[in-house]
Chain A
Amino acid sequence: MTTLARLITALNRGLFGIAKWLVYAIVLLMLWEVVSRYFLAHPTSWAPELATLIFGPFFLLGGPYLLHLGGHVAVDLLSARATGGLAILLHLVGLALAAAFGLILLWFSLPLVAQSISYGETSYSAWNPVVWPAKAFLPLCAGLLVLQAAADAVFAVKGADAT
């Protein structure tokens, strides 16, 4: 159990470590658009759109590991004062809410992504790329969030930590 939980955490940590570099891709794409529109007088049809397609996967991939870090903002007025069993219980409630949130996003986004693939859905812009690769990150990250919530629940119950 604990081993599996540690594997999940390591996976999400790794994805976080990769995803964080995407912000520089967004920066470069936006700068390229400025240069090509203003200095070359010829805006690209793809750079700003590609940047927005990267943006979703970027912040979604950060979510699961952020849960493990306790980085999702919470109101800790009461929970910070709880100790022992009550503290663990409150922690588990929080993880259950995160898991429920992830499950519902996963359950309802999967068919939409499948549909997007089967339609070969494109953005219908001048560049007109297929959009399912970006959309697919929602069920992926929702699923990873559910897994991380389960892993953290294991750590909380067993009193183990992630490494």
Chain B
Amino acid sequence: QGVTKWRMQALWGGGTTPMRYEEDFCARVAELTGGAFEITPFSGGQIVPSAQAFDAVRGGAFEMMKTFDGYTAGKIPAHGFSSTVPFGFPEADQYEAWFYERDGLALARESYAPAGLTYIAPTVYGEEPIHSRVAIRKIADMDGLKGRFVGLASAVMARFGVSVSPLPTSEVYSALDKGLIDIADRGDIKANYEEGLHEVAPFLILPGVHQPTTATSYVANTRAYEALDDQKKAALAVAAREISGRLRQNIIVSNGEYLAKFEEAGVEILTLDPEDVAEARGRAVEFWAEAATDDLSRRMMDSQVALMKDLRLL
């Protein structure tokens, strides 16, 4: 049998750390199949804008994507829960456990199947920080501030009193700089340091309650996926699970290094009280329910809430 060649577009910019892990993913798949399965990685936006990759893979323009389910949560409400949940699981391991030890993976597959897409596996990692021009020591301090959040977080943070402006990512730096907004989310700790947010926001708030944990997803065109032999399918699953752990650990270590850099640059790092966060989580459940507008998203939410109760998070 000949070599199977796929294209995969990821959601990361070229040359970034997570993009290097996507290149590793492709290399690992080739290695596990003895070179019989070659996936060419493309960075986000190189072929289509990241938010449009869903339809590109569906239409067969390329066979596979690394996506963020939040992009398609407007089409498939369940994707709000399989990507990131504001005030959701505080630890990446808990969120990944929901995928692998509960029915997260099965529900994610169910969400993609009608579109002719096959969910392969998530990559799960931790928080993204909140950058602020004012000191925030408890959740209630956010009430009345002007903020930039996206997706479900924009609705939920609005319920906690933030006046949310839907600014594009590229405007975050200058919007904080000029005081257009008081608080903002953008990317992870390292990416935000490289973006220079320490130059424009004197406070960094942890945990990033709007996005405490994140899952990105490997998703393939079902027709292309079904044409693979079992070894190649297994290689995808194995490589995906490896990358999830490796990227998460890389982020844990670099978070430490880059928080030190933020402090060196004079940024004050403020940590919210876990009890305050837990109390807010209890209130957030009601806002999640508003986003769970169909049967599948309700089942997904219920399944996460059940695990959170078992873990005494709720």
Contacts and interface: CB of A to CB of B under 8 A. Distances in A.
A112 B166 contact: no
A48 B80 contact: no
Interface stretch (B3-11, B96-104, B147-155, B244-252): B147-155
B163 to A, nearest CB: 5
Interface string B28-71: 00000000000000000000000000010001000000000010
Contact of B152 (A116, A121, A124): A124
A128 B74 contact: yes
A43 B74 contact: no
B109 interface: no
B166 A49 contact: yes
A140 B59 CA distance: 21
Given A43-B146, A121-B75, A124-B80, 11 more contacts: A37-B146, A37-B165, A37-B180, A45-B166, A48-B167, A115-B55, A121-B74, A124-B74, A124-B152, A125-B166, A126-B155
Interface residues on B, range: 20 to 34
Interface of B: 55, 59, 70, 73-76, 80, 146, 149-152, 154-155, 158, 163-167, 180
Nearest to B157: A126
Contacts, number: 50
Contact of A45 (B59, B158, B180): B158
A53 to B, nearest CB: 12
B155 A128 contact: yes
Interface residues of A, number: 22
A67 B55 CA distance: 30
Contacts of A124: 70, 73-74, 80, 151-152
A116 B164 CA distance: 26
Contacts of A43: 146, 163-165
Nearest to B79: A124
A146 B50 CA distance: 29
